[in-house]
Structure 1
Amino acid sequence: MQLYALCDQDLLDRHKLSLEKFVDFAKRHNAVIIQYRNKNADVTFIKQQLIQLRKKYDGFLIVNDAYELIEYCDGVHLGQEDLKSIDADIFKAVKIVRKVIGSEKLLGISTHNEKEILEANKMDLNYIGLGAYRDTTTKKDISNILGNSIDAIATKSKHLVAAIGGVKLDDKFDNITYNVIGSGLIK
């Protein structure tokens, strides 16, 4: 499994962790991707954090939602609701984002079931997040825990798959490329 490290600002703040400590953790575990997520800050703060991350990390840097900041990173990740906030038609939303970020940048979306994977297969994406694998304290109201069925569901994707939601460093999967580990697991 390759590590996809999710740097969630709310969790960093809650656990009193710095970006530096997070990047050190990601590097120690050979993270190939870091995603920066901040659901509460303005675009200026997110931009500053991306610049700081880029100074410390030379792997793939993804921003959650803020696709207008694509020049400061290597790609964008969007959840299902975030897509719908761009356009009610998620296929149009992906086309809009792809047009803004270009074909050279990475684009990933979250999926939670086979139906969403089959929809994603028709989109110009680089990867999908699939989950939640198990219950997690970082997301509220998770209604769909995939558990051990996650591997079988992942086979339906034509894109690379990142296991999301309650994933641990030592989890092993047969059909999943990335284990997404969040800020809450850093000690």
Structure 2
Amino acid sequence: MPKPFDLTLYLVTDPRLVAARGPGTSGLLATVEAAVRGGATMVQLRDPDAHGRALVEQARALKALLAPLGIPLIVNDRVDVAVAADADGVHLGQDDMTPADARAVLGPHRILGLSVGNPAEYASSDLAGVDYLGVGPVKATGTKADAGGAIGAAGVAAIRALTPLPLVGIGGLGTGDPGTGDPGTGVVADVIRAGADGIAVVSAICAARDPEQAARALKAAIITAR
């Protein structure tokens, strides 16, 4: 069985957004450290442009930061990188290695997540060995080019009704809506009330002027919604 994990506030990194805080891995580490101070409970390393060696180095640096704090490190897509860096798990998309194959490589103790965009995708997914689901995008998002159509909180609720697996809502959360004046916490609350165990965010923390305060505000919204 994998180690216990908490999906409450799940940070997914973006190399373009964290680079503003320093060159190389320094911006990444500064952003993640601030987010964890603010209450982030899991961290996913996502850098689709990094080659294997660079990604392993980033993962090892994050592991050294997060392990003493008891925060799990998840690597996006790359099972080989997760194993090489001794990360705590992997998050897979629908077009990546199958969960069953990934589990065979990862062994029984690492965390395995899978992205699911709608009930039909859930129904056709191989859930063997999956520990949690990333559900969305809830709102339209510019941080992932291949994200599907927005499903809203109602889409999260529809998938929640189909599965006992822990799930985290992702996609445009906490980034606000200039048209309504909502800073983003309203949609966060809707997703939690729809049955999500937590939310995953990218730009809401990575692009924030103060990542620690952004994480703190998001976590407060989650706790209030619960």
TM-score tier by shorter-chain length is 0.7 to 0.9
1:12 to partner: Cα distance: 2.2
Could you tell me which runs of 5 or more consecutive residues in structure 1 were left unpaired when the two chains were aligned: 87-92
- What's 2:202 paired with? 182
- The one-letter code sitting in structure 1 at the alignment partner of 2:108 is S
Distance 1:103 1:119, change over 3 A: farther
Distance 1:155 1:185, change over 3 A: farther
Conserved? CA contact 1:5–1:33, under 8 Å:
yes
Moved more, 102-111 or 153-162: 153-162
1:32 aligns with 2:41: yes
- The partner residue of 1:156 within 162, 179, 193 is 162
Larger Rg: 2
1:141 to partner: Cα distance: 5.8
1:50 and 1:180 map into 2 onto residues whose CA distance is 19
1:120 to partner: Cα distance: 4.1
TM-score scaled by structure 1? Answer: 0.85
Say which SS state the counterpart of residue 186 (structure 1) adopts: coil
TM-score scaled by structure 2? Answer: 0.71
Could you tell me which runs of 5 or more consecutive residues in structure 2 were left unpaired when the two chains were aligned: 1-6, 175-183, 210-226
- What's 2:119 paired with? 114
Number of corresponding residues: 177
Conserved? CA contact 2:18–2:207, under 8 Å:
no
User: How large is the RMSD of aligned CA atoms in angstroms?
Assistant: 2.0
- The partner residue of 1:144 within 128, 142, 149 is 149
Distance 1:166 1:114, change over 3 A: same
Deviations 1:70-97 (A, max 9, x none): 332000001112x2xx4xxxxxx22111
Moved more, 33-42 or 112-121: 112-121
Conserved? CA contact 1:62–1:75, under 8 Å:
yes
Conserved? CA contact 2:100–2:126, under 8 Å:
no
Distance 1:152 1:121, change over 3 A: farther
1:54 and 1:143 map into 2 onto residues whose CA distance is 30
Conserved? CA contact 2:138–2:152, under 8 Å:
yes
1:42 aligns with 2:56: no
Say which SS state the counterpart of residue 58 (structure 2) adopts: helix
- The one-letter code sitting in structure 2 at the alignment partner of 1:125 is V
1:62 aligns with 2:82: no
Moved more, 168-177 or 114-123: 114-123
Conserved? CA contact 2:138–2:150, under 8 Å:
yes
Of all paired residues, the percent bearing the same amino acid is 27
Say which SS state the counterpart of residue 199 (structure 2) adopts: strand
1:123 to partner: Cα distance: 2.5
Conserved? CA contact 1:9–1:36, under 8 Å:
no
- What's 1:77 paired with? 91
- The partner residue of 1:6 within 9, 12, 32 is 12
The structure where strand makes up a greater share of residues is: 1
Deviations 1:135-160 (A, max 9, x none): 11212364411113134222322211
- What's 2:31 paired with? 22
Conserved? CA contact 2:167–2:197, under 8 Å:
yes
1:51 aligns with 2:71: no
